[in-house]
Structure 1
């Protein structure tokens, strides 16, 4: 499993670590309108999927805003951000932040995404910060488990991987 800390403290990640070349695991999360979303909903598209602890923190806020801005320069890529924030809170945050190019999804119900992608933090019931690129045939082509959950991911590498995926 990935070695991750949260504010300098080692945490236990639940689920299976995802690696480049793996078939992307399916998951069931909630959209901001409470509809269920799975990997199947974006089948045939390249997806850049991020997991974040909470949209209401500085690093997560900056990360989603950055990917929202970058989305206009990445053709044919669906950007999804998953957190355990409630769908209502995500909807409010997106409206306040002007987020239109990233779909936020809530894993609060049963940590389906968190466990499928090995990012559920057992001690906090939050998601670790990670980035996954899944190509149109559902193969994982890029993975970054950010070693300190309160730090930023490698934006440039993730964006380049999304551009290269087909």
Structure 2
């Protein structure tokens, strides 16, 4: 029974990863400020960045990254790579958090189990959104929110690192 359960968990993980890879091509950049979208057509990179930094809001770092990525958007399949890198960073962040918890509490899970649980956790995040087609895909293509969440997982894993006294 336990082997069959592990087999099904691994199959679910592979299917979910395949789903993310296949849909990453069709995703797009999401920007939540209509003001920002309008500026893209009328202002240069430096003008937009200066405006965001000095006058508009505190999201200037994430919007700076997004402006940088928009220049690369003309490359073929760039959005696919961008989304796969984003999902990869999320996976690494969650796996690192789980590994830190495993070491801190001495749970003695195998590395393969931790990696599988990381995929399951991301799958739960996906399926627990109210409308995945609206919420999840908008969220994952937005540097403002998605990369902040990834940074949270990396930062939260620091709480579980044992330091020498």
Larger radius of gyration: 2
Greater strand fraction, Structure 1 or Structure 2: 1
Question: Would you say same fold, with TM above 0.5?
Answer: no
> Which has the larger helix fraction?
2
